[in-house]
Amino acid sequence: MPESLVRSAKVPSVLSSKPALCPRVSCVGKLELDSRMGSMTAMGLQALVCPVCKHSGYRSLQGIRVLFATRHEHVCNYGPSLRSLTVVFSGTALVSLRERGLCPTQSALMAAQWALLCGQLAGTLRVSPESPAFMHCFTYVHHEIVHNGPDPSLDAFTEPHPAL
């Protein structure tokens, strides 16, 4: 196997299992279980809704796995679902994240978890410093860490990047 490829691995969750903050930029609500949707166990997801702004999203019941990765692209899936989220980083984004002490796999996992919370179940998430997704995703993760306590695997991610 070429050294640029990473084998399939289940990566531990970097976001807390406590109630998630709403990923909408202007909202301060916390996501709750959506009783209308219940648990989508066939897909390995839990449906969530914000009581403040009514945003709906999802959380993986069994965590997110990185199926394979190259330097810029990580293909992730969740639970028993056959769907996948592909996270594609620009070179500039990778450099910026490494400067904060985050490896590409951690960053891809956070981006995939954020995409689920935003309601994106499949497809491609392109992450570059110029994209709103980069700013929203990693600002959100910073707020999660501040409100739910730091995760030992992310102890280098204590302050938001000045560009955010």
Sign of CA dihedral 13, 14, 18, 23: negative
Q: How far apart are CA 70 and CA 83, in angstroms?
A: 19
Task: Dump pLDDT digits (tens) for 111-162.
Answer: 899 999 999 999 999 988 888 777 788 777 777 666 655 443 333 333 333 4
Residues 1-13: tens digit of each pLDDT:
444 444 444 444 4
Strand 32-33 versus strand 45-49 pairing type: antiparallel
List, in sequence order, every residue forming a beta bridge with 33; answer none if it has no partner.
Answer: 48
Q: Which residues pair with 76 in a beta bridge?
A: 66, 85
Question: Residue 1 burial by CB count (10 A; 0-12/13-18/19+): exposed, middle or buried?
Answer: exposed
Task: Point out the least confidently predicted range of 4-13, 42-51, 65-74, 84-93.
Answer: 4-13
Average pLDDT over residues 67-93: 91
